[in-house]
Structure formats: structure tokens, C-alpha cells
Chain A
Amino acid sequence: MGSIRRSDFINCSADKVWAFVGQPEKLHEWFPITSTRVEGNKRWITLAGGITFEEDIITLDHDLRRFQYKIVNNPFITFHLGTVDVIADGPNRCMLMYSTDMEPEVLALPIAGAASIGIAKVKEMFDGK
């Protein structure tokens, strides 16, 4: 199992950061992908290389500030669980954390790399605001 975790602290309230990253349809505004489409509990994302992933939204918990999804109907991916957490660290600071567990395990690595880009983007957008 490929299990990865990327995170960073952001000097901004957890509520404010969550109000943005907790919108599954806005993933392309911070993650390095080209488009996002959401219908009910389904999401489709398209990567720059042209690959489209179909995803099931599993958890969208605004109290816990947790979003979970899994890639489905993909001939290569036999297991996937992606988790985005925003954890408060006082009133004006939070941690944005992105975790992925995946088979084939090696695919977890490029997703982790993309997550680092995404987290840096959110930090740029919200840090100190």
C-alpha cells in the first residue's frame, strides 16, 4: 500500500481555509489539474496530461473539516482513499493536510507531489489573511 501525507501550517483561521478547500468543485483552483466537475456525490477531475479520474465523494464533514474521496472505475487503481483535513491550531492558524492511500502504491508518489503544489497554493492564497 502506498501511503503518503503532505501538510503545512497556514497563518489563517481553519474556518476560512476550510470554506475554500471544502468545496470539492473548486479543486482545480488550487490543485495542479485542469478541470473539475461535480454531480451529487460524484466528481470528475482532468489532469494536464489528459487523464480523467472518476471519483466518489465519501466524506464532506464541515464540522470535522474533513473531505474524503476515492478514485473509482479505473482499470489500474485497485484501491484509493484521499483525505483532506484542515485542523485548527488556535484561532488564526491551521494545518492543511492531504493524505492518500493507494494501490498501485507507486501512484501515491505523483499524487503526493501534486498535493505539495496544491498546499503551497492554498498557503499563498490565505497565509496572513
Chain B
Amino acid sequence: MGRKILFITTDQQRYDALGCNGGTIARTPVLDALSRAGITFDRAHPQNVVCMPSRSTMLTGQHVSTHGVWMNGVPLPEDAPSIAADLRGAGYATALIGKAHFEPLLDPFLRFTENRMGSQKITTDNPKDPHRGFDHMELATHGAAGQLHYSQWVRENHPEAVGGYYNVLDRELQVNAEGGGDTNAPQIKVNPIPREWYHTEWVAQRTITWLQSLPDDRDWFCWMSFPDPHHPWDPPASEMHRVNWKDLDLPEGYIANAAKREKVIDSKLRHWRGWYDGTFVSNYEAPAKWVPATLTADQVREVNAYTHVENELIDEAIGSVMKAIETRGWGNDLDVLYTTDHGEFQGDFGFLFKGPYHVDSLMRLPLIWRPAPSSNIEPARVSAPVGLVSLAATFAHIAGLEQPSYVEAPRLPHTDNDAATLGHERVLTEWDSVLFGKIVHLRTICRDNWVCTAALPGTMNEAGDGELYDLTHDPLQHVNLWSDPKAKAMRESLLADMWDNLPKQVSPLRNMDAPV
């Protein structure tokens, strides 16, 4: 028998969401314990800060320029490399339970396999050569709408719960700006759904059911993918007592003084101010009719409270799955990897949601690797920059496979020394959006505790524009040093390194077939 792999992802979660990373509100004892027993990465970045490109990187081990899913709505080709397929080829049972999102969700023509499988209530499209290498797929997204398995399950078994979820889209099929809760914050709703019907619980229970179907001696790879804490923020009302928003301090990244906040925003690339004023909404997933400048301090606190509740529910759901795994006697040979696809502003700089903004709010992610106890790998914290692009090679390494030829980054390191040996010097992040003429292109490198973003020509930015932050002395990224003569040498060094190491973008760019 080899090592089993439980790969856990959340959606749109910040580094500081977890107690092991300094979070002080949400109680995350299960993840904190995994961190203490494993390797915790303090500088893990995604290769793109929205779902589909980032998740495609996890599966393929490739940067966005290579796998070509340059924005939400661009489907990952059916024949794209998949580490799940390689693991399956090596004898692993494979499953993806929860949010996949390698293909568009808005799919009225039912063109995409994820949606077709959900609508037909089947968990494999082809047992001999399953979709993307997963023997078993049971899929969910943020609520009860759409065609995926969870939505079908709720509609069929608990139709009275469907209306409890927030309506993600408005009548114009734009992401909804409607407010709720006590503060009228966007995408907030008190959801009367019983906790046991909520998607976090469903994902955990379906994972346990799949694991229980396996023989004791089978090796397995299970990607358990929670849709939370991505907006809308509508956790079960029964759980809202956990965190009272009125008790919360404002997050460190929120600049309470409006004049100071706007001065910081104005020092950044121009599309920041455009979004803040509501004149340039370049990311479909941010409500088109919501103006960030209207965000109040109380709304920030309420959104944070809902998010903390969702994070606690995720931690407890993971605990129930870990217990089921221990009961099967697999614990000693189990590797657990935990991360998310991208971050969330959660009030930083006066914003919510996400978009073309390459700062820690969206780029610094929780990433924990608890190696199998039987592997005798020592616990550590790693400060070297790593990316989600290293996950595929890590899964192969755990399974004892050669590093696949298609991956573009080495496995995750065990220590900072190991990181140096493996060549983890930098991590790269890309952004490309062209939503109905609103064009933003960014390329970012993080190295030596600096973050440098170059803008390519777009609607609001010009070639030569950019952002540069010294994370050691400016951890909140308030001071853009891009044009500071004293930082010029560092900027030039980082840019040269970035252009040397970014893969050439696949051409032509594939079409965007949906907004999300």
C-alpha cells in the first residue's frame, strides 16, 4: 500500500483566516493541528486570482500562460494534462467532490461535462476513461442554482431550502449587488437552511460516503473542494451566534480614514481607482452595480463575521472527514494538503471580492501539507515563495511517481533549505481580462519578499505602469515604490527575472464562452 492523499481546497480564503496563520476570530483547531504536524507555507501564491485559471493550475501543474485558461469562462480543454489521471494510471482511486470549476458554470447549452454529469445525476461520464482522470465526481457551487449535483440534491430532497440561499445573479444576470444582514452589505443573507443541508456539510458527507466505498487496501486521491467562504455570504442562520459582527475589530488592511484610503488607492495602478468609484468593473464576479466607495466600516465587519462562521464550519467538516479516515485505519499513511484557489479583500483598502489586484489580500494563501506520519517528515514553516503550480508535482512525489513532464514547477519543499535545493526562488501570477472591452493585463513576481507587478497595455493602464511593494517594511502594501528611484534596481531585477521565467503565452488565446 502507498500513501493516500486528501487534497482539501476552499474557495476565496485569506491566509489569515486560520488560527495557525495568526487568525484570531474563526476557531480552526483541525487545521491548526494539521499545521503543527506538517509543513505550513507562509508565502504561497496562486498563479491567477480567480477560480477557473487557478484551479486549472492545481490540476495541470502549469502556469496560466501554458494551460490557457486565462480567465473564468475559458474552459480547460478536455485533453489537458491532469495529475488525477496520472494517479489513477498508477492505481489510485480518484475523486473530486465539491467545487471543480474547470468549465463554465453558466452553460444553457449543457456543453460542458461537469454540468452534464450534474444534470444527469451521474458521478462518472466514462468508467474506463473518466473525465479529467476522476473516477468519481460529485460537484457543487455556491448555492442551489444551476445543474451541479448539490443543486439537484437540494432541489429534489429539500426544495423548501432553495430559496434560503442568496440569489447570486440579478435579473440582468449580473452578479447581484443586493444587500442584506444588519448593514445591507452586498451578497449577505441570513440563510434559514439547516446546517446539515448546507453545501459544506454535503461536501464532507459525500466525501465520507465515497471513502467508505473503497476497500481497505486501496490507495486513493480525493480532492475535497468546499465552495465557501466565497461570496455570497449566506451560512446557516443557526450558526450565526458564533461571531457577532458588532464585537469585531476592523481588519488591519482596512483604512478607516477615507482620504488616506483614497490616497493609497491612487498610488496604485489606475484600474484600482476606477473600480473604487464604480466606473471600471473589470471582473464579472464583483457586482457590477456595487460601488466600493460606498462600503462602510460596519459592512466590512459584518462580511468578516459571516466569513469567519463559514471558515469554522469548514474546519469542523474537515474534522468529521479526518475522523472517518482514522476509523478506517488509514491515518498513518495519509497525506493531507490544504489550500484555496485565491484570496478575498474582506475590507482591505475598502474593497470586497476580488479582481485584477495583485496584493496579499488576494495572493497570499493558506497552504498546509501534513505529510503521512509514516513518512517521518519533520514539521516546519516555510517562508520561501511557492505556488499552487507545485501541487501536481507534490501529488506525484507522494505517490512515488516520476515528476510529470508537463508540470512547470517542482514539488513543494519540506523546509526552506529544501526550497533552495529545489529552486523555489520566485512565484509568478498572471491576470488577463477583456470583459466587453474592459481590458486589464498584469504580470507579477514575488521574490526576496518583494512583489512587483507590471501592467501591460489595457483600458486604463499603459506599458511601463506598475506596482512594487517591499513586504518586509510595508506588509500591508500601502506604499507603491514602482517610481521610487531608490527602488529602481530592485524593480529592474525583479522584472528581468519575471520575464525570464514566465512561460510564453499559448496563442491564439482560447475563447471565453461564459462570464463565469
Q: Which residues of A are interface residues toward B (Cβ below 8 A)?
A: 2-3, 6, 32-33, 47-49, 51, 76, 103-107, 109-110, 112-114, 116-117
CA distance A114 to B514 in the complex (A): 10
Query: B514 touches which one: A49, A105, A110, A117 (CB < 8 A)?
Result: A110
CB distance from A20 to the nearest CB of B (A): 20
The interface residues of chain A lying within 8 Å CB-to-CB of B173 are 76, 104, 106-107
Which of B109, B116, B436, B514 has the largest count of A CB atoms less than 10 A from its CB?
B109
Chain B 461-495 per-residue mask, 1 if CB under 8 angstroms from chain A, else 0: 00000000000000000000000000000000000
CB distance from A67 to the nearest CB of B (A): 19
Please tell me if B104 contacts chain A, counting CB pairs below 8 Å.
yes
Q: Is the interface of B mostly helix, strand, loop or mixed?
A: loop
Given contacts A32-B111, A49-B109, A109-B513, contact A104 B73 (CB under 8 A): no
CA distance A94 to B476 in the complex (A): 56
Please tell me if B191 contacts chain A, counting CB pairs below 8 Å.
no
Please tell me if B172 contacts chain A, counting CB pairs below 8 Å.
yes
Query: A49 touches which one: B73, B108, B172 (CB < 8 A)?
Result: B108
CB distance from A47 to the nearest CB of B (A): 5
Number of A-B residue pairs having CB atoms within 8 Å of each other in the complex: 65
The interface residues of chain A lying within 8 Å CB-to-CB of B174 are 104, 106
Chain B 169-182 per-residue mask, 1 if CB under 8 angstroms from chain A, else 0: 00111100000000
Contact present for B172 and A32 (CB under 8 Å): no
Query: A47 touches which one: B110, B171, B513 (CB < 8 A)?
Result: B110
CB distance from B396 to the nearest CB of A (A): 33
Given contacts A49-B147, A105-B436, A106-B173, contact A112 B513 (CB under 8 A): yes
Contact present for A33 and B109 (CB under 8 Å): yes
The interface residues of chain B lying within 8 Å CB-to-CB of A76 are 171-173
A-B contact pairs, 13 of them (CB 8 A): A47-B110, A48-B109, A49-B108, A49-B109, A104-B172, A106-B173, A106-B515, A109-B514, A110-B111, A110-B513, A112-B511, A112-B513, A116-B513
Query: A113 touches which one: B116, B119, B513 (CB < 8 A)?
Result: B513
Q: A77's closest neighbor in chain B, by CB?
A: B173
CB distance from A43 to the nearest CB of B (A): 17
CA distance A109 to B436 in the complex (A): 10
Q: A114's closest neighbor in chain B, by CB?
A: B109
CA distance A104 to B106 in the complex (A): 13
